[in-house]
Amino acid sequence: MLRTLPDDDARAILWRFADRYDLQMLVQSSRGVARGPVARLVAQGGRNSHEWTPEKGELLTAFDAAGLTAVGLDVEYGGFIEGPKNLALALVAFELAWVDAGAATSNLANFLALAPIHERGTDEQRAYYMRASAPGDAGEGREPWRGAFALTEPIPYVGVETGLLGGKMRIAAWEEGQEPVLHIEKRGRFITGMGFADFVTAAVDSADERIKGSCMVILEKTDPGIFDRGVPARKLVHQLSSTRDPVFSLRVPASRIIGGYTIRDGTIVPNYSHGEVIEAVFRRTRVTVGLMTSAKLLSAVEPLIRYHRGRFRGGEDIQPGSPRFELGLQQKEDVLHRLVDIWATGEAATSLGFEAARVFDELDPLERQKDAYFAEQGVSSGRPQFRALATIAKDALEFLAESVTPERQRNVSRYDALKSDPMIRFVLLDSVANVLCPAVKLWNTGHGANVMREAVSLMGGYGITEDCPGFLGHKWMDAQLEATYEGPEAVQRRQLSISMTNDVFLAQYTVWIAQMRQLASDRAGTGACTLATAMQMWLWTLQYLQQATDPGGARLYQSSRQGVSFPLADALSWILAARQQILDVLELEKTGPSHPVVAEQLPTLVPFLMDLCHVQTARAAGEVGRLCTDLVFGYRRHPAWDGPGRSSCYVANELDALEEVIPGIAATARFYSDVIEIDGTHPPKAGPCANTDGLEPFLRLRAKMDGCLTGSRLAKDRAADALTHVMIPEALGYPL
Ligand SMILES: Cc1cc2nc3c(=O)[nH]c(=O)nc-3n(C[C@H](O)[C@H](O)[C@H](O)COP(=O)(O)OP(=O)(O)OC[C@H]3O[C@@H](n4cnc5c(N)ncnc54)[C@H](O)[C@@H]3O)c2cc1C
């Protein structure tokens, strides 16, 4: 039986930073800020105003003091984390959002502003703005610069459609032999950090025939012209971040174009369009947003257990030792089962988010190697690189084919050569990252917001008050913002509908199915079997939809048909989250025994977490089955439309069986509809009620998946029982 909630040591193994002491320290310092100043400010009603108040401003100082302002900075510019920082930033966001995601956003907005410079800026830009953003040493008396990222514009311009740029740049002055000076006109909508930003990275388009295309440009508050921070957005969420609608009309040197520019035939050509910059930025930063919502889900577990257990204590005749005193609302199965669902979702979402962050940590250096390789080969960005990568993708597919070939039959020298090629490693990982990032953002925030509502409801009336332990009501609303900013769900589904059909991704996905099958046969009762079948069903459905047409002859899987591709993107996200949850628990089971503190928890913790996996895979398989069945059948003509005009929903022998359960139903059914006779022949006017032509493999998978659910409710019962025994601290650790 589970004794305590998973502790930091177990978490560090699950989320794979047990060997990173720097990250473990970072978690502690982030937690200190979150459960200290942030929690106190929320408890004191700091969220009741959308103005940026001095009290909110003090949080920035707390971030500086705890080192959180410097996490995303390279070491040479004042940072302290060596190498890629995606996992580090994800952990900070997770810890802060455990208490308040607005505070987390205040911290992250700075890195979002710096991200275009970090990812695509020139060396000089990177050095200048990163140094300026680093808090000074003690006694230096220097305030670090804060930034804002301005893409979204007032309606009718940029929102989901990032190409509809209203912001413009023109050449204000260009003297012979001098650097051109640009005039930037940009209005922003909902720009985070705008209340105090010292610089802004803004997306603009050319309004001058001597500038080609679009770019992102850096604006500073002291640039000549108008730097108007605008009015605060009257938002209902994330009140501990500053969001405004700024207006800029500024003159800046052309050297502020992010990534620099070249001059061709008297025209300024930015080295990166705004689209290229934001693609590089969002694919990383969206992962952290997904983790903010998953933190909320896991943060709800302890307050809910405490509330349920203590619900009737203190009442007359409710004596210690009695079930009402000891268990309170936990006597009710529904309360327990729903909390198990919330917990399982939180585990899956967090596992998925941290896996994505780790993938980006591995991808970052490979991406730089790729850029260096292409620069050396003279392959420029855009189409030429795209073509070159397509050739490498073929090698990557060959590598995957070799890797699943039994060693005896493998072409070893070719396999070894492909395996050690960093470009192949890049292509493999890039295709996975392109799926994981939108899946995290989509599923963690979108589905997470729905599950957060469940958490609120389990707290009864308190759930929707400011006094709710764990601030669950605030968190529910905040989750909706996380589903919206940095691209709402439609953006993530749109991206997934492209990236999930990539051949290299699908080849890896096929290997994952085989691994999950293997796991299922080794370890029954983990949900792996259910998941493997759901994974197969998803792949079958994708391949079917890519070939199939609707009754009008139009292809089903195409970009304009979001009704087809979007649900399939949702289904894949369910799968990816459940898969990563299982893999993480297996990691804990494998490496936990070598960790003295964790080892003693394992006999109770691993079975419990496995039960959560089983619960989650059953739910995921249910979603996959529902979505795929809907898509596979939903676009077919009904056989009755071309046949007798009527169909039968009853088969005679089934009806006889039903009659035993519901006496009288057979006669009623025969009265109202035609019944298919036992030998399958139809009465004159009835046809079959489903069009199953060519769907036998799908039907088999569907039946298999239903059977795979065997035992999943027993797992839920066990997990529910564990909730009634697990020890929790006397009081919540915040606010203090
Ligand atoms: C508190 C807050 C902070 C923010 N911070 C920043 C920031 O710092 N910097 C910044 O640049 N922006 C910021 N934003 C803006 C945010 O990123 C946008 O609001 C978001 O990207 C959606 O744009 P929109 O509001 O214009 O929605 P719209 O573009 O109007 O879309 C509305 C809805 O229509 C549907 N839809 C739209 N287009 C499509 C499509 N092609 N296919 C299918 N469905 C579609 C979707 O359901 C979508 O959710 C912030 C927003 C808020 C609320």
Per-residue pLDDT tens over the stretch 87-140: 999 999 999 999 999 999 999 999 999 999 999 999 999 999 999 999 987 777
pLDDT > 70? residue 262: yes
List, as one string, the DSSP characters of 106-172: HHHHHHHHHHHHHHH--HHHHHHHHHHHSPPPTTS--PPP-EEEE---STTSSSS-TT----EEEEE
Helix (H, G, I), strand (E, B) or coil at 318: coil
d(CA 683, CA 687): 8
Shortest-distance Cα residue to atom 35 of ligand 1: 490
pLDDT > 80? residue 313: yes
pLDDT > 80? residue 687: no
Q: How do strand 199-206 and strand 168-173 relate by DSSP bridges?
A: parallel
The pLDDT of residue 21? 96
The pLDDT of residue 736? 60
Per-residue pLDDT tens over the stretch 11-20: 999 999 999 9
Over the chain, what is the mean pLDDT?
A: 95
Q: How do strand 261-264 and strand 267-270 relate by DSSP bridges?
A: antiparallel
Shortest-distance Cα residue to atom 32 of ligand 1: 160
664: left (phi over 0), alpha (psi -120 to 50) or beta: left
Q: Which of 203-217, 275-289, 303-317, 669-683 is the least confident region?
A: 669-683
Atom index in ligand 1 nearest the CA of residue 151 equals: 11
Confidence of residue 382 (pLDDT cuts 50, 70, 90): confident
Among 75, 78, 77, 109, residue whose Cα is nearest residue 92: 109
Angle between helices 448-458 and 472-484 (to 10 degrees): 170
Share of the chain above pLDDT 70, in %: 99
Per-residue pLDDT tens over the stretch 472-530: 999 999 999 999 999 999 999 999 999 999 999 999 999 999 999 999 999 887 899 99
Cα-to-centroid distance, 159 and ligand 1 (Å): 5
Cα-to-centroid distance, 347 and ligand 1 (Å): 27
d(CA 167, CA 215): 10
Q: Which of 218-222, 249-253, 281-285, 341-345 is the least confident region?
A: 281-285
Cα-to-centroid distance, 607 and ligand 1 (Å): 41
Shortest-distance Cα residue to atom 37 of ligand 1: 160
Q: Is the minimum distance from the CB of 195 to ligand 1 under 6 angstroms?
A: no
Residue 89 neighbours by CB under 8 Å, 6+ apart: 71, 72, 108, 111, 288, 357
Per-residue pLDDT tens over the stretch 99-111: 999 999 999 999 9
d(CA 11, CA 378): 45
Per-residue pLDDT tens over the stretch 420-462: 999 999 999 999 999 999 999 999 999 999 999 999 999 999 9
Among 95, 193, 214, 217, residue whose Cα is nearest residue 145: 193
Residues 247-268 have a mean pLDDT of 97
Tell me the C-alpha to C-alpha distance, in Å, between residue 660 and each of 301, 556, 675.
45, 43, 17
Q: How many helices (H) and strands (E) does the chain have?
A: 27, 14
- The alpha carbon dihedral of 718, 724, 725, 728 has a sign of positive
For residue 112, give both structure tokens: 């979002």
Q: Half-sphere exposure of residue 628, counting CA atoms within 13 Å on the CB side?
A: 29
Atom index in ligand 1 nearest the CA of residue 237 equals: 1
DSSP state of 42: H
Find the radius of gyration of the CA atoms of the chain. Answer: 28
Atom index in ligand 1 nearest the CA of residue 488 equals: 49
Atom index in ligand 1 nearest the CA of residue 194 equals: 8
Cα-to-centroid distance, 497 and ligand 1 (Å): 19
The pLDDT of residue 678? 63
